[in-house]
Amino acid sequence: MVNTKVTLSGLELDNPIIPASGTFGFGYEMAEFYDINVLGSFSFKGTTAEPRFGNPTPRIAETPCGMLNAVGLQNPGVDKVIAEELPKMEKVFHKKVIANVGGFSVKEYAETCEKLDAVDSVGLLEVNISCPNVHGGGISFGTDAKAAYEVTKAVKAVTKKPVYMKLSPNVTDITEIARACEAAGADGISLINTLMGMRIDLRRKAPIIKNKTGGLSGPAIFPIAVRMVYQVYEAVKIPLIGMGGVQSAEDVIELMLAGATGVEVGAANLVSPTVCRDIINDLPTVMEKYNITNLADIIGGAH
């Protein structure tokens, strides 16, 4: 009998599988396909202080080994999420969830996190610092160590629950950003977010996505995710949630060996809505194949 349980900053999960934010809605949409309570947890749709319609369409483009998206954090705003979306979620999912938070200023991040921290069903906050800093020339918070530090410190000052900072891979040295977050009090790190990419329509001779660029996700980025999780595991002492192109139980094992405690599954949910359930079902067999009895024992095992 194998043990798939893992613990993220005191939050025990039945297994490490977590659907990634933006690919699983608020959970109740996916509950039509299977009992989502088999999941370790899930990260719900990125939430901001104010409602956002998102970027103009088209905002999705396919690629040979993944997809580009420039959805632009479309969501109804934190107050409506708490009042309307989370009660619907709580009817179908009976475990603690991960609240994914976006923001365009340090103040906005802190205010949104403070509101979500008070929600009983939220077990952990995942702060997406790939958003543009409107007061810092539009540069992403996640590409500047000082800005990442400031957001982390501000959020930690107003929250009691564990805070995981979600990092952008669009940097020269991701360990520098991870260390800054740890120094500011982060309880953990989530990585990686999407890589910046572009596709061009040959007939129109113009970018396919209205926003011109979008975030690349899917299997194309998996080796980059493994590399960055491996590097960050050696750079910090706080736990990691790894993600980026995960499609199978084997991928989960690989990311955990690199240093991840939890593993998020993103774009694969858009290909097959039941992929997370299937990975969870496959995990015991794959663990036995590689002589793994207790999943928590392999975290960082490749170092």
Known catalytic residues? 131
Q: How far is CA 175 from the centre of its chain?
A: 17
> Using N-to-C axis directions, what is the helix angle for 145-158 and 174-183, rounded to 10°?
30
